[in-house]
Structure 1
Amino acid sequence: MSEKTNKHSWGAAAATGVGSMPGDDAREAAKTVTGSLEALPYLPELPVRGPGADMIGRTAGMLVEVYAHVEPSGWRISDRPGRDTRRARSWLGEDLDALEEFTQGHRGALKVSAVGPWTLAGSLELRNGEVALSDPGACRDLTASLAEGLRAHLAEVRRRVPGAEVVLQLDEPSLTAVLTGTVRTASGYRTHAAVDRGVVEGALRDLVAAAQAPVVVHSCAPNVPFGLLRRSGASGVSFDFSLLTEREEEAIGEAVEGGTSLFIGAVPGIDTALSDPAGSVRGVRTLWRRLGLSPGTLAESVVITPSCGLAGASPAYARAALAHCVRAARSLADNPE
């Protein structure tokens, strides 16, 4: 195979996190992330703080002219902003304050994340209790609202960190379920119909265009649709390496050939004994050889991450995991064979 060289703002041999961190101290999380990840730091999420700090609540707080509140069953669309919307925006403001404090003088890539349109549609309930995925019009409205909200959010990040080259991560753990028609209805007895792949791709393409920045789509679920994400214009795809199947490998090769970066979750996201850094990415090197990709492009095409968010880890392990990702990424550059 001959492949394009990936030249993104984070450079070669980069590492980053997925999103969530343990604990409820925004300053401590920002200090850990910015201190550990020089090439690609990110805005942490701290879901343990409660509703509004979780990924659905944080993203709901970004929406424009669409509001949500918490019900026992989850987040539900509201007529007007209420306490839960205000709380989500307050948590995000606190997180941005902390990030701004610890990125003074930063120049280079900086990653922020939000839930993508299809996971959001599969999670936000309409007034009748069914998720927005059940209504194509509601899906279109959510996508448009999210696009406007993300434009404002990215502009705010750029204002606070003027030297940042912002990278947007769209979290889409439900994307495969949306495509295969396995998202359950409110009753639990049926599933919502699969959404046409062209419609799914079109909504993602709209978000990529709205961001005016590199977009990485993350899913820690099996069977990530690499081809669809590449066609949507995503600059990178983030996934759990342990869930990769042989069927997906050909699509990965095509993605790399097209210049798409792979954010490979190669380090466990929960407390465990960590192997040597080179051992953590041995499977990545093996995959590269199996696909016939040039070893020289490995460090440029791959960013090493934990397998998923670190909210379930201890603070000490979270710090160790991020440092391990950095060392593992460097090992790809030092010894790509």
Structure 2
Amino acid sequence: MKPLVTLTGDGTFRAPTPEQALRLELPQDPPLAALMRLRSLLGDDLEEQIATRLYLPSALGRDETDHLLPASLALLAETTGDLVSYGWRLGSGTGRAWQHARELRERMLDAARIALLGYEGALMTTALGPATLSGATFLQSGERTLGDPGAVRDLPMLLAEGLVGHLTSLQERVPGAQLHVLLREDAVAAVHQGRIPTPSGRRRYAPLPAQEIGVLWSCLFVALEEYGLDANSVTLGVGADISLLRAARDAGARRMAIAPRRLPALTTPEGRALWEGIAEAADDGCVFELVVDPRPGGLLGPELEMMFETWRRLGHSDADAAGIAVIAHTGASHDLHSGLVDPSAQPEASTLLDEQALEALLRVAPSWAERLTA
């Protein structure tokens, strides 16, 4: 039976402290402890109609190299770089920080062999998408990658090749895993709308048209499909813009992540176009995954209520949303989406998911499933 709802996280997980590891009887090795804890939380479906999607954490937040941006850069095939005063720079030789990011990814793969021994089920890996990487990284000249069209065009192929190698290694270590990829495009709106500042800060880079962003996504999908990972096993973050949604569909996306908090109201022209685009895509078989903050004090309840109310105003019932996935997230990417935070900035460890956030998600899931059967 198809699950009513699938629960997962955004690819991050704050590493247990030594004290927490001792209390929970976990190993003192952070990658192994984190993955064992995640398996205990998400390694089994809650019930027949509530599924979970275990994920390999791409960021534990232990140091400046242990975040999603360097973890994604470590995937880029045949690419070198380093962390400098103004951010992550590509192509200057492999520096210590870059090498450490690669080592952290290898350590997590090795931890998977132990922590996920005998595991059979969904297993997701996470990376930033090419549009976000273009706005978050710099070239040797000091310009952002976004300022070099040739470098931007190279990103999806470099990322795809690296992801294929990573997925192959992961499958070897966890043979029973059904692999899934989450491509987070946290800064795609800022890139598309021309809100990324130049190094001087006195101007901004020209907007990247949705059609060109769609070409980047299409290159990724084609390369991943050649590996054997079809579009139903890839979730793409598409922001809250109808032109980006259409570009994603044209690129072949079948699963798209949206954040209810970012969606414009149905009463606005932009909102009407976007919501009708979402409904049309859903009718065509596309699946939408909802990015929410389940932590106490978050806006989970109001966000989902707003979404269901809008869904009903479009002529759908709550039951029509059955099969959705819900991605736990701290909300850290919302400021990136709006352009308030530079995508190259070093994130705080507090922006990563922790055990309490995932437990909160698991607690509210039964009430969602019940609603989707109405």
Scaled to the shorter chain, the TM-score interval is 0.7 to 0.9
The CA distance in 2 between the partners of 1:97 and 1:148, in whole Å, is: 20
Q: Which segment drifts farther, 94-103 or 52-61?
A: 94-103
Match status 1:320 vs 2:336: no
What is aligned with 2:336? Answer: none
The CA distance in 1 between the partners of 2:119 and 2:62, in whole Å, is: 28
> Could you give the per-residue CA deviations for residues 161-214 of structure 1, whole angstroms, max 9, x where no partner exists?
111111111111111111111111111111111123222101101111222322
Match status 1:131 vs 2:131: no
Q: Return the match for 2:313 from 278, 290, 299.
A: 290
What is aligned with 1:272? Answer: 296
Q: Which segment drifts farther, 224-233 or 158-167?
A: 224-233
The CA distance in 2 between the partners of 1:125 and 1:83, in whole Å, is: 17
Q: Offset at 1:223? A: 4.5
Q: Return the match for 2:38 from 33, 37, 41.
A: 33
Q: How many residues align?
A: 323
Q: Offset at 1:238? A: 2.0
Give the partner amino acid of 2:318.
P
Q: Which segment drifts farther, 253-262 or 299-308?
A: 299-308
Query: Share of identical aligned residues, percent?
Result: 29
Provide structure 2 residue ranges, at least 5 long, that are not aligned to the other structure.
17-29, 45-51, 266-270, 333-347
Give the partner amino acid of 2:261.
S
Cα distance change of structure 1 residues 280 and 324 upon mapping to structure 2, 3 Å threshold: farther
Cα distance change of structure 1 residues 222 and 297 upon mapping to structure 2, 3 Å threshold: closer
The CA distance in 1 between the partners of 2:278 and 2:96, in whole Å, is: 43
Q: Return the match for 1:242 from 249, 261, 265.
A: 261
Q: Does the CA-based 8 Å contact 2:61-2:352 persist in structure 1?
A: no
Q: Does the CA-based 8 Å contact 1:223-1:245 persist in structure 2?
A: no
Q: Return the match for 2:281 from 241, 255, 258.
A: 255
> Could you give the per-residue CA deviations for residues 42-67 of structure 1, whole angstroms, max 9, x where no partner exists?
11133522233221111111111111
Q: Which segment drifts farther, 62-71 or 297-306?
A: 297-306
Cα distance change of structure 1 residues 302 and 255 upon mapping to structure 2, 3 Å threshold: farther
With structure 1 as the length reference, what TM-score do the two structures score? 0.86
Q: Return the match for 2:195 from 182, 188, 204.
A: 182
What is aligned with 1:164? Answer: 177
Cα distance change of structure 1 residues 230 and 332 upon mapping to structure 2, 3 Å threshold: farther
Q: Return the match for 2:15 from 10, 13, 23.
A: 23
Q: Return the match for 2:166 from 149, 153, 163.
A: 153
What is aligned with 1:218? Answer: 237
Provide structure 1 residue ranges, at least 5 long, that are not aligned to the other structure.
1-5
The CA distance in 1 between the partners of 2:97 and 2:161, in whole Å, is: 20
Q: Does the CA-based 8 Å contact 2:182-2:234 persist in structure 1?
A: yes
Give the partner amino acid of 1:157.
L
The CA distance in 2 between the partners of 1:240 and 1:278, in whole Å, is: 13
SS in 2 for 1:104: coil
Query: What CA RMSD, in Å, does the superposition of the two structures yield over aligned residues?
Result: 2.7
Q: Does the CA-based 8 Å contact 2:82-2:93 persist in structure 1?
A: no
Q: Does the CA-based 8 Å contact 1:20-1:45 persist in structure 2?
A: yes
Q: Offset at 1:115? A: 1.1
What is aligned with 1:12? Answer: 4
Give the partner amino acid of 1:101.
I
The CA distance in 1 between the partners of 2:110 and 2:134, in whole Å, is: 29
Q: Does the CA-based 8 Å contact 1:21-1:44 persist in structure 2?
A: yes
Cα distance change of structure 1 residues 182 and 279 upon mapping to structure 2, 3 Å threshold: closer
SS in 2 for 1:181: coil
